[in-house]
Structure 1
Amino acid sequence: MSFAHGSARYSRPLCWLLALAAAPAAAEGAEPDAALTLDEVTVNARHREEPARTVPIALNALDGEALSEAGLFRTEDLQQRVPSLLVSVPNARYTSYGIRGLGSSTYNDGIDGSVGVFLDGVYLGRQGMSLSDLVDIERVEVLRGPQGTLYGKNTSAGTVNISSRMPTFAPEGSGEVSLGQDGLRQYRGTLSGPLVDGVLAGRLTAYDAERDGIVDNLYDGSELREQNRQGLRGQLLWTPSEAFSARLIGEYAWQDEQTNVFTASNFSQATRERAAFVGYRQLPIDPYARRVQQDQPNTIKTLQTGVTLELNRILDSGATLTSVTGYRDWTYDADQDGDGTALSIAENVAVQLDHHQFSQELRLADSPNEHLDYVVGLYYLRQQLNREVGVRFGDDAAAFFLGDRPEIDLLGITPGMIPPSLLEGAHQAFDGEQRTDSRAAFGQVTWHATERLSITPGLRYTRERKQGWLSRSVSGLAPLGPDLVSQIGGALLRDTTLGGEYYRRDSIEESNLSGQLALGYEFRDDLFGYASWSRGYKAGGINLDVVGPNVEPTFDAERVTSIEVGLKSTLWGDRLMLDLALYQADVDDYQALTNRAPVNEYAPPIRDNLINVGKVRLRGIELDGLLRASERVDLRLGVAWSDARYRDFDNAPCSPESAQWSCDLSGERLFNAPEWSATAGVDYRHPLEHGLELFGAVDHSLRTGYYGSLEGGAGSYQPTYTLTNLRLGLRQADRRWEAELWARNLFDEGYITAVYAQLGAGDYGVLTGDPRSVGMTLRTRW
């Protein structure tokens, strides 16, 4: 939710924890002071500006300026304000969003996100495309639950809408500099104003963020997980008449970082035996020490360019016709130490993804009379993903992979007796492509049956077509030698480690009819209730990985049936806002990734394969509250309880420690679905003499523990953690300038943000959250 105080705007999920602070004033029955009331929160969730308290959707509206002031500049930071949102960013390729426990990891390039991310009305086809800094943002709206009758792209879990600020005809600008620990340097700036008075305005926004590495590489003394990213957004707004406007947006974002670094959280017994055989001393398991031994670089470079054209025309009937055209290119280029060690095993994994997309949305919205509002639209999206993955093996690979074989020990074979040429120089090449065409027609009508009762039905028809191919080739193998190891086990080692030639071409084509029905009732001017039923859909797809036995090359669509009831209220003379939502969502054919154990003692593990889980159920309660306790103090709290469980999953992969191939996980909790999440905060303002103001804020967030992988192996559990951020500063009362000291992760909490299955079955690496960071920020506005 958002509210204003003076000329400033704040964005907060809500608070009731400290509501007793206002109880004495309420008990006295005194008339509320106008300065103590919260401003109306307006949202554009249904493509029209309206009060959030009368929208029959569970949502959080986050003000862009407040996010900037809190130092929340990236989409993964949004979860510190939205308890039901979980964002995991191992890297741009593997980014995943989840809402209410439902969300797909993009560890497999063939899967779409369950949460749709939109930037200025354009759907971002790869979730990693959303990782540009949130700079010069007007608002972020997080809609919880299936959304499909309002937006071009259907989503089964929810939607994140990001809206940038528009050009202005009054000159304005802002600048910001942040300096902090570990060499942090952040620069942001915006200029906006008229180019032709009353007709053409422009806006230019740029940012540059750098930070030194926070992970020590003991192999060569380097520091990894640095930050180095830049971006630019330019806009033109043309308003030749009151009935027509055109907005053109051009974007450029660049990232070049050594950041794809996972610290070990578990070694399987096989990996321990292999390391002992070749005489390699592994680092102790201590992810929070932030230490690795890697002899190869871990670089990621991404480049994103995009153009958006939004046209709005008010027709003679009063209806508004909107066209949103978007084109985006996204390139991901990464080099990774494939084995994560100082050994030369899978010494380099090179990945290049090229994603191109074009989208067109036509939308007509109108309120022909006081009893009716509607939105209808047509949508088209075309995507093409080209993928190249290469794995190069080194001179330690053969001895390492044979190191746990009992026959090696029985025959008295030492590492020096195993020819490196069995695998050294071998190269696996995985090439692939996927083309996607999506077409949809959607619409939603709100009938105001009475002054207090509204009925909102919606319908959507979707047509999806995907075509793709995948190949694997192996090259660089030396001839097998005459020695005992080569003759006895060389061919088997190569076959199980490298595999042979592989080619697969697949396609799917499907259609879906989905919809929703919502009832809203205004019990009083300050109390709104709603109940909704919705049907969400996410298309099936192609498993863009080499599939093993019992895994299909394609996977089915994910369907969600959701029921929700909620209350939205304002209390104590508009000083307190409370939102409550209860929901249940039943998911059929939930799309999930597995990391299965090897099918036999010689085969490698099967990683990143997509399957459909029969049935999943999500239940939960969400409470958001915001209180203006006094003219100087604002309080907020958001709490989400989630019970996300598999209902029918009797063919699930077992944890790597199990001797079984298949397990029954029915009734168990979903992975990446914490049971409790909460956010809370206090904002304080104290006026001083000479037009100055002292300000401070404390922000706190909590998540209880959960597994980060479906199979739930040792080392894949992410423990409960809490984060606390602190800010204290001095500013001019009209916000012309601000000087602020801040501390993020104030108590230096160790926590895990992502889990990754590594080289062998049962080997896991984790991405740890940032340690405590202290710094200062200077801002100016004009």
Structure 2
Amino acid sequence: MIARPLLLASVATVSLATLSLAPSQAYAVEAAATEAEAEAASSEILVTARRREEQIQDVPLAISVINANALEATGSFNVGKLQQLQPTVQFYSSNPRNSAANIRGLGAPFGLTNDGIEQGVGIYVDEVYYSRSASTTFDFLDVGQIEILRGPQGTLYGKNTTAGAINITSRAPSFTPEGRVEASFGNLGFVQAKGSISGPLIDDKLAVRLAASATSRRGTVYNVATNSRINEQENIGFKAQLLLKATDTLNLTLAGDYNRQDPECCAQIYYKTGSTQRASNRQYAALAAAQGYAVPSTDIFDRVTDVDADLRAKQSLGGVSLRAKWEVGAGELTSVTAWRFWNWLPSNDRDFTGLPIFTKVNNPSTQRQWTQEFRYAQTSDKLDFVVGLFGFQQSVHTDGIQTLGSAASKWLLNPTNANANNPAYLNGVQSDNNIDFKNTSLAAFGQLTYHATDRLHLQPGIRVNYDKKSGSYISTVTQNGVAVTNPTKLSDAGLPNLNYSPKFSDWNLSYDFTASYDVTDDVLAFATYAKSFKSGGINLNGIPTDRTTGLPVTSKTTVKPEKVDHFELGLKTQLFDRRATLNLSGFWTNVKDFQAIVNDNAPGVVRGYLANADKVRVRGVEADFSARPTEDLNLYVNAAFTDAKYKKFVDSPCPPELTGGTAISGSQVAGAAGLPGALSPLSCNISGSILPGISKWAFSFGGEYRVPAQLFSTDGEFYLGYDGSYRSKFSSNPARSIYTDVKGYALSNVRLGYRANKQWDVYGWVRNAFDQKYIEQLATQSGSTGLIIGQPGDPRTYGVTVKATF
């Protein structure tokens, strides 16, 4: 665990360097502002959504921009916090590896991460693609602004953006000396420090920028088994950039970053139980009673647990990149070369109890990736275009382990089994998994905008992509160092010996067409059709075994590509002399062979696997409104209505209330849901049910009011800011269950402060001001025991932040 003094000292080093670089120069920046202020001045916001710099209201695309001031003012220090500012973003994380950022309900499958698949929302930082979902949990580091591109972006951003892209831009090195420092302190031992410094090394030729960030917070859950607070935060990050103006037409930016997390995390805790079709004496209450076990609290908001396995969520992530921008002819040639790494060293308690059922379920991984992109862009009165090439190579290695403890025999085996009361029978049975994955992807792409008239613009785009994936999964089961080959014991443990080597390769074509029309200088209307895809995948979490033969189902080793047809209409308007902005969009997305993570509810199985749902449909309407009625008041409201359903999924794994019983055969009919001892269906038809993780209604709203004032003979302003969010209920299981709907909730964040001379800022803040009790995510214990576990959202937190700009 990183000590807090070390975290603060790291950032203080940057701050002291700031003072020595420019002791007599003050660099003025705009006062901190809400997202609404940025939107109200949207005609001046520049974005690079189409891989060229242009004003946001000129881009025929549903796009939101959050600037650095809004991120800092609202405490949005990683991607997970963005969903409170943008209702079309959903974020779920049971631990850093199992994290997913979705847009409009699509993106990553809902459930445990599988290395053999693609994400559906691309994360880009300074034009470099971050393939690991874990990158969403790290603190933002010296960010200038974030662009959230909604809807398929396959032409310019690739196969991993069927739902959209999050485009993060860092502050660039400056030839004008400048520095920033920020420190926050709050309850739960919260300490966060940030600092950056920039200035010239060689006048007008070479500039440097250094940044550091550190966050520490005590855990929100108390573990009585270890007498410690868990689910804490311990993050540290560094970034360095060098900008070389090699010639009048060539700029080179060399960047490197390193980020590390080492918290005691992450536990999901008891929420409730729900009856399944397993025999009564094999459900959670009876199993716990048989071992004399009682959970320390049945109220999840007591935030108490007794998980007995070590908890660790240690990871490091970083890399280097070289960006070249060269003015060639009438356009600009861009090259982005990058190498990145990710190391993951976890420890979990996957039985979610204080019993030694599973003593280890860990999947430590290492990942390395290379990316290379070339783009040439040109703009003219009649024609704008971007053409390019992209290459991606990735390798992942995982050494997984699953170990059974002394309570496994009684918990996993039927009482009629002669070994059920023999703790030694399954104690120490261990599955060691050697997993490798390699992925090569190559693409050529282009997009052009033809200005048919001064007001009518036609924009076709195309991308050709080749993917090659290969992997191997070798699972070896031992007990006390001796190989387990007895099929009965393997079945009892739910840990089969597996050895398979899936492969996948395919060519795919993405294309889109957008027509936009400037109704007036302040009104833009557009219509888009996009044909996109997500590459096929391979299952690298293990595959299910046949319920009757016990043999691996080899047909489950791969999944088909996800194919997307997307339609969208949009209107971007500025009103009242551009003091207000109203942007509207309506979309309809059809997905064929939707990639979902599903669960095998057989006893002992603790992980999900990939499968294709036949058809999914997502449609909705979004509205983004912001206004600046006076110079001192900013307001914003963002709203999203999203209707997402499985249109056809006739052979889905069943929800927990329809599992656990003896499987039907022949003409037998499955029993009632949740009836102990009833027959269970082999699969379920969930066509028409809602997709997991998506609220039908979601809103974000707020504003800031400022009053000019003098304090200690210094000109400045007092301000009061409010940011609220609401989302309606959503399903938290791939197949909707009567037990795992998460209730809707509203959150309120408030801040009150004083800014002076645009150089320093002090404010107090309260997040979740009304101490709303809410659940972030629910899940089920494997084996159809009926145990439902969950993650309670953060309680009320409060603190103070001090910022200075030099």
- Normalized against structure 1, the TM-score is what? 0.91
Q: For residue 642 of structure 1, what is the aligned residue in structure 2?
A: 642
Unaligned regions of 5+ residues in structure 2, if any? Answer: 1-27, 276-282, 547-552, 659-679
Q: For residue 222 of structure 1, what is the aligned residue in structure 2?
A: 228
Report the Cα distance in structure 1 between the residues aligned to 2:623 and 2:505, rounded to whole angstroms. 40
Deviations 1:204-262 (A, max 9, x none): 00011111111011223211111111000000000022200000110000000112110
Question: Greater CA deviation, 224-233 or 343-352?
Answer: 343-352
Report the Cα distance in structure 1 between the residues aligned to 2:42 and 2:583, rounded to whole angstroms. 14
Deviations 1:535-573 (A, max 9, x none): 111101111122124661100111111010010000111
Note if 1:377 corresponds to 2:388: yes
1:167 and 1:192 in contact (8 A); partners too:
yes
Report the Cα distance in structure 2 between the residues aligned to 1:459 and 1:167, rounded to whole angstroms. 34
Q: Secondary structure at the match of 1:365?
A: strand
1:514 and 1:536 in contact (8 A); partners too:
yes
Note if 1:197 corresponds to 2:209: no
Q: Secondary structure at the match of 2:226?
A: coil
Q: Secondary structure at the match of 1:202?
A: strand
Q: Secondary structure at the match of 2:154?
A: coil
Report the Cα distance in structure 1 between the residues aligned to 2:349 and 2:184, rounded to whole angstroms. 32
Which residue of the other structure, out of 328, 353, 357, is the alignment partner of 1:341?
353
Q: Counterpart amino acid of 1:151? A: Y
Q: For residue 746 of structure 2, what is the aligned residue in structure 1?
A: 722
Pairwise CA distance, 1:372: 0.5
**Aligned in 2, Cα 1:130/1:38: closer, same or farther, shift over 3 Å?**
closer
Equivalent positions of 1:444-593 (< 5 A) are 444-477=447-480, 492-548=488-544, 549=546, 552-593=556-597
Deviations 1:663-716 (A, max 9, x none): 211111111111011000111111012302101200000111111111233542
Note if 1:681 corresponds to 2:685: no
Which residue of the other structure, out of 288, 303, 310, is the alignment partner of 1:297?
310
Q: Counterpart amino acid of 2:435? A: G
1:13 and 1:82 in contact (8 A); partners too:
no
Report the Cα distance in structure 2 between the residues aligned to 1:13 and 1:560, rounded to whole angstroms. 33
Which residue of the other structure, out of 392, 396, 401, is the alignment partner of 2:412?
401
Pairwise CA distance, 1:731: 1.6
Deviations 1:615-649 (A, max 9, x none): 01111000001100111110001000001111111
Q: Counterpart amino acid of 2:432? A: A
Pairwise CA distance, 1:419: 2.3
Note if 1:440 corresponds to 2:453: no
Note if 1:697 corresponds to 2:706: no
Report the Cα distance in structure 2 between the residues aligned to 1:140 and 1:205, rounded to whole angstroms. 18
Question: Greater CA deviation, 183-192 or 131-140?
Answer: 131-140
**Aligned in 2, Cα 1:94/1:777: closer, same or farther, shift over 3 Å?**
same
Report the Cα distance in structure 1 between the residues aligned to 2:170 and 2:53, rounded to whole angstroms. 16
Pairwise CA distance, 1:430: 1.4
Pairwise CA distance, 1:198: 0.3
1:749 and 1:771 in contact (8 A); partners too:
yes
Pairwise CA distance, 1:193: 0.4
**Aligned in 2, Cα 1:688/1:81: closer, same or farther, shift over 3 Å?**
same
2:141 and 2:239 in contact (8 A); partners too:
no
Report the Cα distance in structure 2 between the residues aligned to 1:523 and 1:6, rounded to whole angstroms. 35
Q: Secondary structure at the match of 1:104?
A: coil
Report the Cα distance in structure 2 between the residues aligned to 1:195 and 1:500, rounded to whole angstroms. 60
1:65 and 1:137 in contact (8 A); partners too:
no
Note if 1:92 corresponds to 2:96: yes
Note if 1:326 corresponds to 2:338: yes
2:274 and 2:739 in contact (8 A); partners too:
no
Q: For residue 190 of structure 2, what is the aligned residue in structure 1?
A: 184
Q: For residue 766 of structure 2, what is the aligned residue in structure 1?
A: 743
Pairwise CA distance, 1:756: 3.5
2:174 and 2:198 in contact (8 A); partners too:
yes
Deviations 1:330-385 (A, max 9, x none): 00110112322222111122321101000000000001x30110000000000001
Note if 1:357 corresponds to 2:369: yes
Pairwise CA distance, 1:298: 0.9
Equivalent positions of 1:209-288 (< 5 A) are 209-267=215-273, 270-288=283-301
Report the Cα distance in structure 1 between the residues aligned to 2:442 and 2:47, rounded to whole angstroms. 27
1:15 and 1:627 in contact (8 A); partners too:
no
Deviations 1:728-762 (A, max 9, x none): 00120x32111110001101112222333434324
Report the Cα distance in structure 1 between the residues aligned to 2:647 and 2:423, rounded to whole angstroms. 48
Q: For residue 41 of structure 1, what is the aligned residue in structure 2?
A: 45
Which residue of the other structure, out of 745, 756, 772, is the alignment partner of 2:779?
756
**Aligned in 2, Cα 1:574/1:500: closer, same or farther, shift over 3 Å?**
closer
Pairwise CA distance, 1:278: 1.5
Q: Secondary structure at the match of 2:556?
A: coil
**Aligned in 2, Cα 1:190/1:212: closer, same or farther, shift over 3 Å?**
same
Report the Cα distance in structure 2 between the residues aligned to 1:174 and 1:110, rounded to whole angstroms. 41
Q: Counterpart amino acid of 1:314? A: E
**Aligned in 2, Cα 1:421/1:154: closer, same or farther, shift over 3 Å?**
closer
Q: For residue 670 of structure 2, what is the aligned residue in structure 1?
A: none
Report the Cα distance in structure 1 between the residues aligned to 2:108 and 2:32, rounded to whole angstroms. 33
**Aligned in 2, Cα 1:703/1:37: closer, same or farther, shift over 3 Å?**
closer
Report the Cα distance in structure 2 between the residues aligned to 1:533 and 1:518, rounded to whole angstroms. 7
Pairwise CA distance, 1:110: 1.9
**Aligned in 2, Cα 1:596/1:428: closer, same or farther, shift over 3 Å?**
closer
Report the Cα distance in structure 1 between the residues aligned to 2:561 and 2:36, rounded to whole angstroms. 33
Report the Cα distance in structure 2 between the residues aligned to 1:670 and 1:201, rounded to whole angstroms. 49
Report the Cα distance in structure 1 between the residues aligned to 2:368 and 2:499, rounded to whole angstroms. 24
Q: Secondary structure at the match of 2:687?
A: coil
Report the Cα distance in structure 1 between the residues aligned to 2:125 and 2:649, rounded to whole angstroms. 36
Pairwise CA distance, 1:607: 3.5
2:43 and 2:55 in contact (8 A); partners too:
no
1:203 and 1:236 in contact (8 A); partners too:
yes
Q: Counterpart amino acid of 2:565? A: T
Report the Cα distance in structure 2 between the residues aligned to 1:677 and 1:590, rounded to whole angstroms. 24
Which residue of the other structure, out of 433, 440, 457, is the alignment partner of 1:430?
433
Report the Cα distance in structure 1 between the residues aligned to 2:125 and 2:777, rounded to whole angstroms. 24
Q: For residue 82 of structure 1, what is the aligned residue in structure 2?
A: 86
Q: For residue 326 of structure 2, what is the aligned residue in structure 1?
A: 313
Pairwise CA distance, 1:491: 6.7
Q: Secondary structure at the match of 2:363?
A: strand
**Aligned in 2, Cα 1:153/1:14: closer, same or farther, shift over 3 Å?**
farther
Report the Cα distance in structure 1 between the residues aligned to 2:104 and 2:748, rounded to whole angstroms. 23
**Aligned in 2, Cα 1:120/1:479: closer, same or farther, shift over 3 Å?**
closer
Question: Greater CA deviation, 71-80 or 549-558?
Answer: 549-558
Q: Secondary structure at the match of 1:657?
A: helix
Over the aligned positions, Cα root-mean-square deviation in angstroms equals 2.2
Q: Counterpart amino acid of 2:694? A: A
Question: Greater CA deviation, 106-115 or 328-337?
Answer: 106-115
Q: For residue 655 of structure 2, what is the aligned residue in structure 1?
A: 655
Note if 1:389 corresponds to 2:400: yes
Q: For residue 486 of structure 1, what is the aligned residue in structure 2?
A: none
Q: Counterpart amino acid of 1:470? A: Y
Report the Cα distance in structure 1 between the residues aligned to 2:93 and 2:38, rounded to whole angstroms. 28
Report % sequence identity: 33
Report the Cα distance in structure 1 between the residues aligned to 2:290 and 2:68, rounded to whole angstroms. 55
- Size of the alignment, in residue pairs? 736
2:779 and 2:788 in contact (8 A); partners too:
yes
Deviations 1:422-462 (A, max 9, x none): 01122111110110000000000000010000000001100
Report the Cα distance in structure 1 between the residues aligned to 2:294 and 2:589, rounded to whole angstroms. 48
Note if 1:664 corresponds to 2:668: no
Report the Cα distance in structure 1 between the residues aligned to 2:186 and 2:258, rounded to whole angstroms. 26
Q: Secondary structure at the match of 1:698?
A: strand
Q: Counterpart amino acid of 2:764? A: L
